[in-house]
Amino acid sequence: MSPKFDLVVVNGIVVTAADAVPCCIGIKGGKIHTLSPSFSSDEIEGAQIIDAEGAYVMPGGVDAHVHLCQDLKTGAHGLGGECADDFETGSRSAAAGGTTTIITFATQTRDETDRSLIKVVEAYNARAEATGSFIDYGFHIIIVRNDPEILENELPILVRDWGVTSCKLFMTYKSQRLTDTQLLDVMLASQKNEITTMIHAENGDMIQWLAEKLENKGMVAPYYHALSRPPVVEMEATNRAIALAGLIENPILFVHIGSPLAAANVRNAQTQGMPIYAETCPQYLNLTYDDLQKFHSPTCFENSKHICSPPPPPGTSDHDELYLGLHNGTFTIFSSDHCPFRYDHPHGKPSGDLVSRKPGSFRFIPNGIPGVETRMSLLYTGGLATGRITPRKFVELTSTNPSKLYGLYPKKGAIMPGSDADLVIWHPQKTFEPFALSNDMLHHNVDYTPYEGKEFVNWPRYTILRGRVIWAEGELKGKPYDGEYLKRGPSYFGTGPAGRRRDARKTATWLR
Ligand code: URP
Ligand code: ZN
Ligand code: ZN
Ligand code: ZN
C-alpha cells in the first residue's frame, strides 16, 4: 500500500493569515492534503517526517516585487547598471530566505522597434527559461507608452495566454515615466482587462529640478540622491495617482512606499472606500539617510550601496510610522524590491571611477538594492519578534495578500487542503542563536548586502516548494528547474469595496 502522505510536518505552530494553532500537516502530490491536531503512526508510515519542534510553520513567502534578468542598462532607468541576478541566482537566494514564489518584471522600452508587449514577455520568458528558477515565478509587465492599438489588442492576450494580470507604471525616470493623460489611458485599459495597476509614485519633475540644483552646487555624493527626492516628492505623486485612479475607479497598488506622508495619503483614500493598496519594503524599515552618509567623503562610493528610489527615509521615527502602517492595514503587502547591482563592476553601483577615485554624480548610480533573501527574516526580526506585528499579520503581508492581490490565491499563500504545499518553517525561537549577517552567507550574485553586520533573530530552517524540501538547515536542496511558470488570474480583491465616490462610479460607467 502506498503511504497516505509523501511528507508530514509535525509539532509546528501553523500560522495562516487567519489563525495560529498547533497543528500537523499532511502533504500528498505536492499539495496540502490534511490538517490535523495529530496523526496516528499508521497514518504517517512511509512518509518523510519533518519535526518543527514548536516553531512557526507558514505559507512560503510570495515576493511580488523582484527584478531579475531585467535590461536595466538602457531602458529601465536610463541610469546604466547591469542586473546582477538571473533567474537561477535570484530564485536560489529567494529559496534560501523562505520564499517560494516571485513575481518579476518584463519591461517594454521606448525603442520604436520594440513596442509589442507580447514580444517583450516572450523575450523575457526566454531569459527565465535559459537558466531556470528554483521556485515558482510569474511576470508583471512594465508599460512605458500608451499606444492605443497595443493596449487594446495585446493586453487581452497577455491576460489570456500568459496570465500576466498586473502592470507597473512609472511617474518618474525619463525613459519610463508617463504623463497624467498617459497614466489614465493605461489605467483605463488595465481596468477593462482586470489588470492590477502598480504605480511607482514619485514626482519626476521635482526630482529633476532638485537634482540639477544639487549638481550645480557640486553636491554629487551618493547622499544627495536622497535630497533630490525628499518625502514630498512621493507625497505629491501618490496624491495625484489616487486622484487619477479615483476618476475612473481603477484599483491601484503603490509599490515601494518609503514615506509616512505617502502612507497617510493611502490611508486617507482607503478610509473613503477607494480600492487603493500599498506595498512597503525592508529598506524603508531598516535603513535611513545615515546609511547614505556613513562614510563622510564624497569620493567614497560605498554609500552608493544604499541608493534606491524612493530613498530610505530620513530617520528611525519614520520606521516606527511605517511599522504602524503594516500593523493597521495601510500596507497590503511587503515585498523586497530586490534590484541587484554589483558594487565592484563597471556597470554596477559606484558613481565614478573605482580606480582613479574620480567622483561622478549620484544621478548616474543605478537605483536599487538587493534583498530577496533577507526580506522574510528582516520582518521577522524587526516586526514579529518585537511584537510590532502578529504572526498572522506577518503571513498576510509576506504571502497571503500578495497571492490574493496578484491572482494566485488559494493555490499560493494558503495552508488549506488543495493548496500548493509551499511552506517556510522557522527555527524554534527558544533555541535559536541570533547572528550577525554577512554577505557571504547569502546566495545572490551581488557582492554586498545593505544589511551587513545586522543582527537577525531567526532564519528559515526549511523551505518547501510543492511538497519538496528545497532549503534545509542552511543548505540548498533544490535545483534551478524546480520552479514553474505561474499563469495568474485576476485580483482576488476585485475592484475593491463600493466606494462612496459616486461621481467616480458615474465616470467609470460611461467610459466603458
Ligand atoms: O530603486 C529602485 N526601487 N529600483 C528598482 C526599480 C524600481 O523602481 O522599482
Ligand atoms: Zn519602482
Ligand atoms: Zn522595483
Ligand atoms: Zn568587475
Looking at residue 139, which CATH number applies to its domain? 3.20.20.140
- Give the residue carrying C-alpha cell 514548536: 54
Measured by CA distance, the residue closest to atom 6 of ligand 1 is 368
Which residue of 85, 169, 308 sits with most ligand 1 atoms within 8 Å of its CB, as the best mutation to test the pocket? Answer: 308
- Side-chain-facing half-sphere of 393: CA atoms under 13 Å: 19
Residue list, CB under 5 A from ion ligand 2:
200
Query: What cell was used for 434?
Result: 541570533
Measured CA to CA, the distance from residue 95 to residue 73 in angstroms comes to 27
CA–CA dist 199, 183 (Å, integer): 9
Instruction: State the pairing for strand pair 468-472/475-476.
Output: antiparallel
Which pLDDT value is given to residue 302? 83
Instruction: Write out the three cell numbers for 411.
Output: 493555490
Type of residue at 305: K
| Cell of residue 100, nine digits | 517560494
Q: What are phi and psi of 291, to 5 degrees?
A: -70, -15
Q: Can you tell me which atom of ligand 1 is nearest the CA of 307?
A: 1
Q: Is 337 in the pocket of ligand 1 (CB under 6 A)?
A: yes
The predicted structure's pLDDT at residue 110: 86
Range of the domain at 200: 61-384
Q: According to the model, what pLDDT value does residue 270 have?
A: 93
Specify the pLDDT at position 293: 86
Minimum-distance ligand 1 atom for the alpha carbon of 200: 8
Task: Count CB neighbours of 484 within 10 A.
Answer: 15
What is the distance in A from the centroid of ligand 1 to the CA of 401?
21
Q: Which atom of ligand 1 is nearest to the CA of 76?
A: 6
In this prediction, residue 75 carries a pLDDT of: 39
- 132 Cβ partners below 8 Å, 6+ apart? 87, 88, 479, 480, 481, 482, 483
Cα(311) to ligand 2 centroid in Å equals 11
Q: Which residue stretches of the chain have pLDDT < 70?
A: 72-80, 295-300, 350-359, 494-508
Q: In whole angstroms, how far apart are CA 398 and each of 61, 165, 405? A: 6, 19, 12
* CB contact at 8 A, 61 and 99: yes
Task: Tell me, yes or no, whether 8 lies in a domain.
Answer: no
Extract the runs of DSSP E, i.e. beta strands, from 126-204: 136-142, 166-170, 196-200
| End-to-end Cα separation, the chain, in angstroms | 58
Alpha helical stretches, state H, 203-296: 204-216, 223-227, 231-247, 260-271, 283-286
Q: How far is CA 67 from CA 91, 173, 369, 370, in A?
A: 11, 16, 10, 9
Q: What is the CA radius of gyration of the chain?
A: 22
406 located within any domain: no
26: its cell numbers: 499532511
Which residues does 243 contact at the CB level (< 8 Å), separation at least 6?
A: none
- The total number of structural domains that make up the chain: 1
Query: How do strand 423-426 and strand 7-15 relate by DSSP bridges?
Result: unpaired
120: in domain: yes
Q: Which of 459, 463, 402 is nearest to 432 (CA)?
A: 459
The answer to whether 371 and 287 have CB atoms below 8 angstroms apart is: no
Residue type, 447: D
Regarding the beta carbon of 339 and ligand 1, being less than 6 Å apart is answered yes
CA dist 202 to 135, 143, 222, Å? 32, 16, 19
Cα 475–477–482 angle (5° rounding)? 140
Buried b (16+ CB within 10 A) or exposed e, 298-322: bebbebbbbbbbbbbbeeeebbeeb
Minimum CA distance residue for ligand 1 atom 2: 368
Separation between Cα atoms, residue 124 and residue 162, nearest integer Å: 12
Dig out the grid coordinates for 210 from the structure: 532638485
The CA 367 to ligand 1 mean position distance, Å, reads 6
Would residue 40 count as lying in a domain?
no
448 located within any domain: no
**pTM given for the model:** 0.96
- What is the best residue among 63, 367, 446 to mutate for testing ligand 1's pocket, by most ligand atoms within 8 Å of CB? 367
Q: How far apart are CA 333 and CA 344, in angstroms?
A: 32
Q: With a 6 A CB cut-off, is 309 part of the ligand 1 pocket?
A: yes
Centroid of chain to Cα 285: 14
Identify which of 83, 104, 171, 256 to mutate to test ligand 1's pocket (most ligand atoms within 8 A of the CB): 256
Has residue 265 been placed in a domain? yes
Q: Is residue 476 part of a domain?
A: no
d(CA 49, CA 10): 7
Nearest ligand to the C-alpha atom of residue 369: 1
- Does the beta carbon of 308 sit less than 6 angstroms from any atom of ligand 1? yes
> Is 480 a member of any domain?
no
In DSSP terms, which residues pair with 423 in a beta bridge? 59, 464
